[in-house]
Structure 1
Amino acid sequence: MLKRYFILLITLCWLTSHAASPTATDYSYSQCQGSAIPYPVPDMALKAIPDSLTPIFVNHVGRHGARFLSSARYTASLLSYLHKADSLGTITPAGRRLISLCRLVDERTAGHWGALDSLGMAEQRGIASRLYSLAPALFHDKKVNAISSYVPRCIASMDEFTHRLATLDNSIDISTASGRQNSPLLRPWTSDSAYIAYMDGSEWHDVYKRFVDTTAPESVAVKLLGPAYPFSPGEKKEVAMAAYKVIAGCSAMSVDPQADSFLTLPEYNALWSIVNLHHYLTHSASTLSSAPMDMAASLLRDLISTMDSAAVGANPYSVMLRFGHAETLMPLLALMRLPECYYLTDRFDTVGMHWRDFFVVPMAANLQMILLRAKSGKLYVRVDLNEHPVTLIPDRPEIYIPWETAGAYLSRCLPQQSTPHNAS
C-alpha cells in the first residue's frame, strides 16, 4: 500500500509541475509516436487536380515505410534494468508487462532490425497507387526513374513502390538504382563538412541536455522498477527514454504496445517533446545554425533542375522517384520553408508547439512536386506534403503557382545564392 502511495505521489508531483508549463503539449497517444507513427492515409478528394490543368511531370522524394526497430539497443537496455529490479524484488506490475513487451519486440524483430515490415510495404504500395490514380497518363508508355539510399529498407521501399506501378501498367519503362553514389542527395549528413562541424559542436548538445534535464519525467522509471530500486544519477531519465523508444516504435511493426498502461499522456508528451527537439536541432532549421537544412541544397537543386528540364520537354522521364530517410526530408522541407516544417525561435521549449515530427516525417513521409500545364500552355506547380497540397510561398495562399514564380522562389531558398532558376 505504501509503495502505491509513493508512486502516486511522485506522479502527481511531476504532473502538477509539468501541467504548469505554458509550453507543455497535449498531443494524443498516436501523435506521441512521433516520427515512428505509421503513415496517415490522405483523403483522395484533396488530391484531385482541376480539369483545366494537365500533369506533365512529378518529382517525388520519400522516406522509407514503416520498419522494425532499428536495433536491439533499447530493449536490451530496458531488460537489463527490469531484470535487475526483478532480482531485487522491486519490480512493479507495469515493469513485468514491459518485460513481456520487450520480449515480443525482440522475437518479432529477430533478424530484421531496421528492415521494412509488411506495414511499410503496404504504405509504399498505397502511395504508388494513389499517384498513379492521380495522373495515369504520366505512366502509360512513359519512363520512370527511381533512386534510393543504399540502406536496405530504402531499397525495399523503392522496390515496393515501383513494383506496384508496374502491376498497374506494364507499359511503364522503369529504371532503378541504389547505392552510395546517391548519398550526396539522399544521405548528405555523411559528407557535408559544415553539418559535421555543427554536430561535433557543443551548442546544440547543451540546449538538448538542458531540455532533457528539465523535461524527462522520472516518474516513469519509478513506475516500472519500483520506488525501492537503487537508482544511480541519470538512470531514471535513461529508463524513461528507452521505454519511450520501444513503446513509440511498436505500431510501425504492427504491435499494439498499450502505451497507456505504461505512460500517462503528459508523460508521453514530455518524452515525445525530447525526441522531437532532437530531430529539430539536428535536422531542421534553427537559430543555432542553418547547416542542418543547408545540407539539403544539392537535393533541392536537383529538384529545381529536373523540373526545369521537364518544363522545356528535355527530361526523358515523366516521373522521378527518390527514396531516403526522415533525415533526408527534414532538411529539405525546412530549406523550402514549407508550412509547419520551418520554425525559428530562441525559446526551444516552444518547438513542440510549432514543429512536430509526426506531422513532418511520419513513416513513408513524402514530398511531391507536380508540374502541370494549363490549356493556355502556361506551366504551374503544386507541392504536396504527405499527399496533402500545401502552400509554397509564405504569405501567398495559392496552391497552384506558376512554375516560373515557384522556381525563382525555390532558388532563393538555396544557400549562398546557388545556381539560379532557369525557367522558360
Structure 2
Amino acid sequence: MGSNYYAYPTPTAKYTKAPTGYKPFYLSHYGRHGSRFHQPADHYHALYNTLVKADSAGKLTDLGKSLLKRAKHLDEYAAPRAGDLTQLGVAQHQGIAKRMVKNFPELFKNNAYIEAYASTSTRCVVSMAAFLEELRDQKPKLNIHQESGKYLMSFISPLDFGKIIGESNTPAWQKENEKLYSHVNPARMMNAIFNDSTYVQKNIDAGDLLSKIYEIGNSLQGSPEIEFSFDDLWTEEDLAARWHAQNAWWYSVLGNNPFAKKQGLDNARPLLKNVLDEADKVIAADTAKADKTSMAAKKTTATLRFGHDTVIFPFVVLLQLENGTQNTGIETNDMENLHKVWRDYEISPMAANVQFIFYKSSKKEYPILVKVMLNEIEQKLPVTCGEASAKKCPAAPYYRWEDVREFYKKTLP
C-alpha cells in the first residue's frame, strides 16, 4: 500500500525463451529514479511542528510522544535530503543493471556502444550514474555515452506536472474522489495521537495530517537506515482506504480515467515517439552494416533513459500493457474496484522501468521481434499480427516489430 513509494521488488519471474534462431541485438529502456526521501521538506517540518505544539500544550498520548521523537529525527535527517536519492535507490539501479547484463549478455559484449540520458533532476542523474557504474563493473570495455541536459527533457519529462494535476481535477472527478475519501476517516488516528478531541478540532487539519503521515511513512521503506516506521499508527482497514484513494488519484492524473481530461497521457507521447524513432534508427544501421553498405556509424546496443513516475505512469498506459489482472491502459469508471485491474505500486514503484528488447533471426527473411517488460516482467501487448504465417507470427510475449511500431504510431498526434 506504499503507492509510488513502494521500494522496487527484486523480480523472480522466469522468461519465455525466444523463438528458435532469434537473439537480442538492441534494448530500449526508460527507468524511474530509485527510492528517494520524501519531498517537500515542508512536510517534515509541518509534522514535527504540529506535534511540538501539541506536546507543549500537553495534548499528546504516549503514541503521539513516540511519533514526536520520530518526527524530530526525520526533521533533522530526512528534511535536508528531501527528494534526494537514497542508498537503497542506488542499489536498486545497480541491481537492475546487473540483471540486464545477465539476461541479455549479447548486448554488452566487448566495447558495445551504450547511450544513456537522464533528466536534469539530481536523483535521476545519480540513478544513471549508479546504473552505469554497475555496467562498467560488469563489462569494463563498454563504450558509454552519458548525458543530462535541458534539451533532453523534451522526451524525458516534457510537461508541467502541476498543470496536469489542475487540468485533471474536473467536477466529475471531484465527485468520485469525495466518494473514495468518505472511506478515509482520520478520527481513529487522531484519537490515538492526541488526548483531546476539542484541541484537534480547533488546531489540527486531520485529513492533511493523516496524508502527511501516509506519504512520509511510505517513503521510509526506501531508507532502511532509518530504524523505525509509522506502521503502528495504522490499522489495515485505514491504510487500505487511504491507498485506494491514492491509487485512484494517480489514475485520474496520469491514467485512462474517464472522469478526467487525460492530458497527463501527453506527458509520455514524446517518449513513445523517441522509443519508436530510435529503434528504427538502430534497425536501419544494423541492416546497413549487415549489407556492408555502411561501416562508419556506431552500432548502439542499448538506449537508457532515466526519468520520473510522472512519465512512466502515462507511458505504460499508452502501451496498454497486460499481466495477470493488471491492465495499464484500461478505462473504467468503477473507482471502488479500480485496484482489481490497475495498481500504482505495480506500475511505478521506485526504480520502475520499461524495457523493449529487440531480437533478430539468423535468417534474414524472418521479421525483427520485440518483447516488452515492465519492471523486468514480461507483458502482453494489445498488438495483433499482420500475417497468418506461423513462422512470422510469434506467440506472446514476442511480437513483430512492424506490427508493434504501426500500432503505437497510431496513438501519436
TM-score bracket, normalised by the shorter chain, equals 0.7 to 0.9
Contact 1:85 1:226 in 2 (8 A): no
From 271, 274, 282, the equivalent of 1:302 is 274
Q: Verify: 1:313 aligned to 2:296, yes or no.
A: no
Q: Summarize deviations over 1:259-318 as a string: whole Å, max 9, x none.
A: 431101111111222222222111222112231113311110111111222223358411
- Pairs aligned (count): 383
Distance of 2:8 and 2:165 partners within structure 1: 30
Contact 1:92 1:225 in 2 (8 A): yes
- Pairing of 1:23-422 with structure 2 (within 5 A): 32-43=1-12, 45-46=14-15, 49=18, 52-140=21-109, 141-190=111-160, 195=164, 198-199=167-168, 203-205=172-174, 207-232=176-201, 235-254=205-224, 255-287=226-258, 288-313=260-285, 316-339=299-322, 340=326, 341-377=328-364, 378-393=367-382, 398-412=396-410, 414-415=411-412, 418=413
Give the drift of 1:209.
4.6
The SS at the match of 1:39 is coil
Give the drift of 1:343.
2.6
Distance of 1:37 and 1:252 partners within structure 2: 8
Distance of 2:43 and 2:165 partners within structure 1: 25
Give the drift of 1:372.
0.5
Distance of 1:69 and 1:156 partners within structure 2: 16
Q: Which moved more, 1:313-322 or 1:138-147?
A: 313-322
Contact 1:192 1:295 in 2 (8 A): no
Contact 2:158 2:267 in 1 (8 A): yes
Contact 2:383 2:407 in 1 (8 A): no
Give the drift of 1:363.
0.5
Distance of 1:145 and 1:86 partners within structure 2: 54
Distance of 1:68 and 1:112 partners within structure 2: 6
Could you tell me which runs of 5 or more consecutive residues in structure 2 were left unpaired when the two chains were aligned: 287-297, 386-394
Distance of 1:150 and 1:47 partners within structure 2: 36
Question: Could you say if the C-alpha distance between residues 203 and 179 of structure 1 is closer, same or farther in structure 2, counting changes exceeding 3 Å?
Answer: farther
Letter in 2 for 1:410: Y
Give the drift of 1:229.
4.5
Contact 1:222 1:236 in 2 (8 A): no
Give the drift of 1:134.
1.5
Question: Could you say if the C-alpha distance between residues 55 and 348 of structure 1 is closer, same or farther in structure 2, counting changes exceeding 3 Å?
Answer: same
Distance of 1:221 and 1:352 partners within structure 2: 27
Q: Summarize deviations over 1:141-194 as a string: whole Å, max 9, x none.
A: 21111111100000000111111111211221111111221222121222998x
Q: Which moved more, 1:320-329 or 1:332-341?
A: 332-341
Contact 2:355 2:372 in 1 (8 A): yes
Q: RMSD of the alignment, in Å? A: 2.5
- TM-score, structure 2 as length reference: 0.85
Letter in 2 for 1:406: V
- TM-score, structure 1 as length reference: 0.83
Question: Could you say if the C-alpha distance between residues 353 and 133 of structure 1 is closer, same or farther in structure 2, counting changes exceeding 3 Å?
Answer: same
Could you tell me which runs of 5 or more consecutive residues in structure 1 were left unpaired when the two chains were aligned: 1-31, 419-424
Give the drift of 1:244.
0.6
Give the drift of 1:205.
4.7
Distance of 1:392 and 1:108 partners within structure 2: 44
Question: Could you say if the C-alpha distance between residues 218 and 228 of structure 1 is closer, same or farther in structure 2, counting changes exceeding 3 Å?
Answer: closer
Distance of 1:170 and 1:122 partners within structure 2: 19
Contact 2:61 2:194 in 1 (8 A): yes
Q: Which moved more, 1:380-389 or 1:106-115?
A: 106-115
Distance of 1:223 and 1:105 partners within structure 2: 20
Give the drift of 1:44.
6.3
Distance of 1:264 and 1:395 partners within structure 2: 45
